[in-house]
């Protein structure tokens, strides 16, 4: 899940500083190594690349000083080939005239590498990417020009790719191609951009073209040419005006995007509910007619899907949450006409979730989705897609998109329940009041989280326990702690924890419990007692006036009364987000760029 940033200046101004900014804005997509290539006025190529984060590399290599009015850049999340300078992008062909950056995985790299080395090509890196410039170089020998060599090379590639390419003999063009991996074009006043995601160029323009699978072509000072491999010939793509503002992709005075995004949740939930109200009508009828309903997603979005399963069940609507990467094996053979699949994905580009909804479509099921990105693959490939109002999420750890996703699912089931004559007016009113109470939860628990992180930082393991609606919240809290603080936190159904996991519990072992005042309350207390009697250090997220759980706990995060229902995730998860954040910070880690992770997982 690398980040591609490319730019051509319509006024022949220097683009290197812009490409550097684009890569900075995309660093959430991968940050183990980076490189930039620019073509100078005299047609020379300047390529600078190495291992490290972009700021360090800029200092070392002087990215910002590179001279040229056209260039391509890349920030890497390694898939093929270890993290080293040789495997860092851009990559070139034998002549050095074809320069390529790539995001995705070329599955038939071995076969193509053999084809190329048998024809004398010197492949210097272990990456799948380097195959591309050599393949184009090989087909250029047929003398039919770059575009035809490019098309032929694309027709040989299997897997996923987003590409930006410079050909030195045509140095007023940047070629691009997209299959499976996301790629967008930005249309600025003074520049055109090619990038993996809109935040790359949002500070200069909000006009974007979202490329579709099979699209390829070039940007030049004479304009933008888009063809499609599958439809053949030129295609017209809509120019979208993105709602997001540049402030949304800046830290706004916060030390990290993650903390900013945690604090943005009152506004993002409010915007999401307003937008859901306008979009929901078309969806309810699908729920009614559905043979079976499946909620499919990955990571944090899967925990939102699991919340959906529990919330729907509260009103007698049967839905099954399925982990996207298990979809084929777990339910693939059951999917049939009449089934409704709801794909949940903040980026709208997660490969596992895309693969699941594509299988469902092939089996004639109807696909709906909840996503945060207009024009994303999941948005485009759904019959109906509900757009969340979270705004761009830059921190790799999802926070505001989790609460936005659960807000949409809650609103969906409450609307459905209302249409089926159930009295849910109170809960709909309470849902609309949530943004205010999220601010209260942040205000009243942030310092507590900071304090408690000083204790947790000394721990290697922890359990997060919940029951019913509380379980997805506990699972999400544990995921946050794992992914940014590298503390092995395991989310677990509280009742199930006595069937084995409790064996690990000893004096001081952190047990985070999500305690709702609903039918699970007494059983949660039993679980707490069982853990406490073995020395567990009990940290609870509870209602303010729940004195008996507070008494039972060594530490309590307090949330306003009246949310021990399907709205719970929107409040109870917040202290767990803050706890993970402050534990990461106190451990000296960068919460925005956790190791080994990237924001949108666009490969298998
Ligand atoms: C969550 O913090 C992670 N970034 C990751 O688990 C993420 O939720 C998952 O990759 C799904 O992403 P999506 O919502 O963009 O599909």
Task: Give whole-number Cα distances, 201 to 26, 61, 133, 397, in Å.
Answer: 10, 23, 26, 22
Kindly indicate the confidence band of residue 578, based on its pLDDT and cuts at 50, 70 and 90.
very high
Least confident interval from 76-90, 208-222, 258-272, 295-309: 76-90
Q: Report the C-alpha gap between 599 and 30 in whole angstroms.
A: 8
Is the model's pLDDT at 1 over the cut of 80?
no
Binding site membership of 350 for ligand 1 (Cβ less than 6 Å): yes
From the CB of 300, is ligand 1 less than 6 Å away?
yes
Measured in angstroms, how far is the CA atom of residue 592 from the centroid of ligand 1? Answer: 13
- Under the banding of pLDDT at 50, 70 and 90, the label for residue 139 is very high
Task: Name the pLDDT band for 600 (thresholds 50, 70, 90).
Answer: confident
Per-residue pLDDT, 186: 97
pLDDT of residue 90: 98
Closest ligand 1 atom, CA of 396?
4
Q: Is the pLDDT of residue 435 over 80?
A: yes
Q: Which residues contact 141 (CB under 8 A, 6 or more apart)?
A: none
Distance (Å, whole) CA 148 – CA 143: 9
471-487 pLDDT, tens digit each: 999 999 999 999 999 99
CA distance 485 to 477: 12
Ligand 1 lined by 571 (C-beta under 6 Å): no
Question: How far is ligand 1, taken at its centre, from the CA of residue 401, in Å?
Answer: 9
What pLDDT does residue 586 have? Answer: 97
Contact in structure between 528 and 511 (CB atoms under 8 Å)? yes
The stretch 406-418 carries a mean pLDDT of 97
Q: Is the CB of 399 under 6 A from ligand 1?
A: no
The string of pLDDT tens digits covering residues 225-258 is 999 999 999 999 999 888 877 777 888 889 999 9
Give the model's pLDDT for residue 176.
Answer: 98
pLDDT at 375 over 90: no
pLDDT at 73: 98
pLDDT value at 344 more than 90: yes
Entry pTM: 0.87
Report whether residue 598 contacts ligand 1, using a CB cutoff of 6 Å.
Answer: no
- What whole-number distance in Å separates Cα of residue 349 and Cα of residue 103? 13
- Which pLDDT score, from 0 to 100, does residue 16 have? 97
At residue 266 the predicted structure's pLDDT band, cuts being 50, 70 and 90, is: very high
What one-character DSSP code corresponds to residue 234?
B
Residue 388 is given by DSSP the state: P
**Which ligand 1 atom minimizes the distance to the CA of 378?**
16
pLDDT digits (tens, 9 = 90+) for 41-54: 899 999 999 999 89
Task: Give the pLDDT score at 345.
Answer: 97
pLDDT of residue 80: 75
Q: Whose CA is nearest to atom 16 of ligand 1?
A: 345
pLDDT at residue 245, as a whole number = 78
CB distance 101 to 74 below 8 Å: yes
The pLDDT value given to residue 244: 78
Percent above pLDDT 70 for the chain: 100
Q: What is the pLDDT of residue 40?
A: 92
Nearest C-alpha to atom 7 of ligand 1 is from which residue? 299
Q: HEC profile for 160-181?
A: EEEEEEEEHHHCCEEEEEEECC
Give the per-residue pLDDT at 567.
Answer: 98
pLDDT score recorded for residue 529: 98
Distance 304 CA to ligand 1 centre (A): 11
Average model confidence (pLDDT) across the chain: 95
Whether 309 is in the pocket of ligand 1, judged by its Cβ within 6 Å, is no
- How much is the pLDDT for 598? 84
**Which tens digit of pLDDT belongs to each residue from 378-398?**
998 999 999 999 999 999 999
DSSP code at position 233 = S
Distance 299 CA to ligand 1 centre (A): 5
Is 476 close to ligand 1, i.e. is its CB under 6 Å away?
Answer: no
> What amino acid positions are annotated as catalytic residues?
2, 599
270: CA distance to ligand 1 center in Å? 22
Please count the other Cβ atoms lying within 10 Å of the Cβ belonging to residue 180.
Answer: 20
Is the per-residue pLDDT at 290 higher than 90? yes
Per-residue pLDDT, 261: 97
List of residues 6+ apart from 333 with CB closer than 8 A = none
Hunting for tokens 């298998």 — which residue is that? 604
């Amino acid at each position: 899940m690398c980040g591609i940033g490319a730019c051509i200046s319509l006024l022949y101004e220097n683009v290197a500083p812009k490409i550097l900014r684009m890569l900075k804005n995309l660093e959430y997509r991968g940050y183990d190594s980076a490189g930039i290539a620019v073509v100078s006025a005299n047609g020379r190529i300047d390529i600078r690349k190495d291992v490290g984060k972009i700021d360090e590399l800029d200092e070392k290599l002087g990215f910002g000083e590179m001279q040229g009015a056209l260039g391509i850049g890349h920030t890497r999340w390694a898939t093929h080939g270890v993290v080293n300078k040789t495997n860092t992008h851009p990559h070139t062909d034998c002549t050095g005239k074809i320069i390529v950056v790539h995001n995705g995985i070329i599955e038939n790299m071995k076969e193509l590498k053999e084809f190329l080395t048998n024809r004398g090509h010197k492949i210097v890196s272990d990456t799948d990417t380097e195959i591309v410039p050599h393949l184009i170089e090989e087909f250029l020998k047929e003398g039919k020009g770059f575009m035809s060599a490019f098309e032929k090379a694309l027709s040989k590639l299997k897997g996923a790719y987003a590409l930006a390419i410079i050909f030195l003999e045509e140095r007023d063009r940047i070629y691009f191609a997209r299959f499976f991996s996301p790629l967008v074009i930005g249309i600025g006043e003074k520049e055109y951009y090619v990038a993996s995601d809109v935040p790359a160029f949002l500070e200069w323009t909000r006009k974007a073209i979202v490329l579709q699978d099979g699209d390829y072509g070039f940007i030049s000072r004479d304009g933008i040419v888009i063809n499609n491999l599958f439809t053949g010939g030129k295609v017209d793509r809509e120019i979208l005006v993105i709602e997001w503002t540049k402030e949304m992709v800046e830290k706004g005075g916060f030390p990290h995007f993650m903390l900013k995004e945690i604090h943005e949740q009152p506004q993002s939930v409010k915007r999401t509910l307003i937008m859901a109200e306008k979009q929901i009508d078309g969806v309810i009828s699908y729920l009614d007619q559905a043979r079976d309903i499946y909620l499919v997603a990955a990571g944090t979005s899967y925990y939102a899907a699991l919340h959906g399963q529990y919330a729907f069940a509260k009103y007698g609507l049967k839905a099954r949450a399925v982990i996207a990467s298990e979809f084929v094996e777990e339910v693939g053979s059951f999917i049939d006409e009449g089934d409704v699949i709801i794909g949940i994905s903040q980026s709208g580009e997660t490969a596992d979730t895309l693969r699941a909804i594509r299988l469902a479509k092939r089996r004639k099921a109807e696909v709906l989705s909840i996503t945060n990105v207009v024009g994303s693959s999941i948005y485009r490939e759904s019959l109906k897609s509900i757009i969340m109002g979270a705004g761009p999420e830059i921190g790799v750890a999802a926070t505001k998109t989790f609460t936005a996703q659960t807000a949409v699912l809650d609103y969906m089931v409450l609307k459905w329940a209302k249409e089926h004559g159930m009295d849910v007016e109170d809960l709909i009113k309470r849902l609309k009041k949530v943004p205010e109470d999220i601010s209260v939860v942040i205000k009243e628990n942030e310092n507590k989280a900071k304090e408690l992180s000083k204790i947790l930082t000394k721990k290697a393991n922890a359990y997060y326990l919940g029951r019913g609606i509380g379980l997805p919240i506990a699972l999400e809290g544990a995921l946050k702690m794992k992914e940014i603080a590298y503390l092995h936190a395991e989310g677990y159904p509280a009742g199930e924890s006595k069937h084995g996991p409790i064996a690990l519990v000893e004096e001081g072992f952190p047990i985070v419990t999500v305690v709702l005042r609903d039918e699970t309350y007494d059983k949660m207390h039993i679980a707490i007692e069982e853990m406490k009697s073995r020395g567990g250090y009990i940290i609870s997220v509870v209602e303010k006036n729940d004195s008996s759980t507070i008494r039972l706990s060594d530490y309590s995060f307090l949330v306003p009364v009246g949310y021990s229902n399907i709205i719970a995730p929107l409040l109870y998860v917040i202290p767990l987000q803050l706890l993970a954040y402050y534990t990461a910070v106190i451990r000296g880690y960068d919460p925005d760029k956790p190791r080994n992770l990237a924001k949108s997982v666009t490969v298998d």
